Amino acid sequence: MGIETILIIPIVMYSIILHEIAHGYSAYLLGDDTAKTQNRLSLNPLNHIDKFGTILLPALLLIMSGGKFAFGYAKPVPINPYNFRDFKKDSGITAAAGPLTNLLIAILLSLILRLIIGTKTELNNFEVLFLRVLISGISINLFLMLFNLIPFPPLDGSKVLGAFLSDRAYMRYTAQERLGMTLFMGILFLNYILKLDLFRIFERPLMFMLQLLTGLDF
């Protein structure tokens, strides 16, 4: 494992954690204090880390992809949608808060990158390494945003889409979360074993957004 990958891991971990905190905080603003009462709005990583989803899975994916790809999850923030004033709409807003947070993280890292590039005429080895870590952090957060917006249970996009469905269709659609997670893990496994590289579908939109935020050509 290279030094670059080691430096990327905490960025990935906190990107995932902040994603979950955003869910809980938006739910709190919309009337559900479940996450707050269970101390899940804290920045303390110990309150959010899932040993497999937050540490092992993204670390393995980073190693296998050479630092180019990572996906993971924290302990899901507990949300009781029955506390919302509008069940479907507020559930959709709460779900969208996670991917939006990843976009904001990517924008923040891009601003740091642009600041460094704009004030330097020549970069030393450490600065080059730091810029590469920033670019990886931006790319990973953009991927987390795009991936989570897929309208496939249990991903956030399913609840965002659900806000526009009828009540009956919403309940039937979002009830498939457990099956959806099983299918997703199976797809990840087959993608690696058969070397299908299914995640290439994200390559073009991700590169477009990466170039737009950083101002760099890749």
Q: Which amino acid, one-letter code, is at 185?
A: M
The pLDDT score that the predictor gives to residue 154 is 84
Cα–Cα separations (whole angstroms), residue 135 to 13, 71, 72, 206: 16, 16, 18, 12
Q: What is the pLDDT of residues 185-199, one digit of tens each?
A: 787 777 767 777 777
The pLDDT score that the predictor gives to residue 71 is 67
Specify burial of residue 89 (Cβ count, 10 A radius: 0-12, 13-18, 19+): middle
In contact, 23 and 73? CB cutoff 8 Å: no
Q: What is the pLDDT of residues 131-140, one digit of tens each?
A: 999 999 999 9
**pTM score, two decimals?**
0.85
The pLDDT score that the predictor gives to residue 65 is 61
Residue 122 falls in the annotated catalytic set: no
Start-end of H helices in the chain: 3-29, 34-37, 57-65, 87-119, 125-148, 156-162, 167-174, 177-193, 203-214
How far is the C-alpha of 137 from the C-alpha of 66, rounded, in Å? 13
The pLDDT score that the predictor gives to residue 185 is 73
- 61: closest CA among 105, 100, 8? 8
Q: Which two tokens stand for residue 154?
A: 């249990």
Out of 4, 20, 127, 203, the active site residue is 20
Q: Which amino acid, one-letter code, is at 47?
A: N
The pLDDT score that the predictor gives to residue 170 is 85
Residue with tokens 């506390």: 83
Stretches where the chain sits below pLDDT 70 are: 1, 62-72, 192
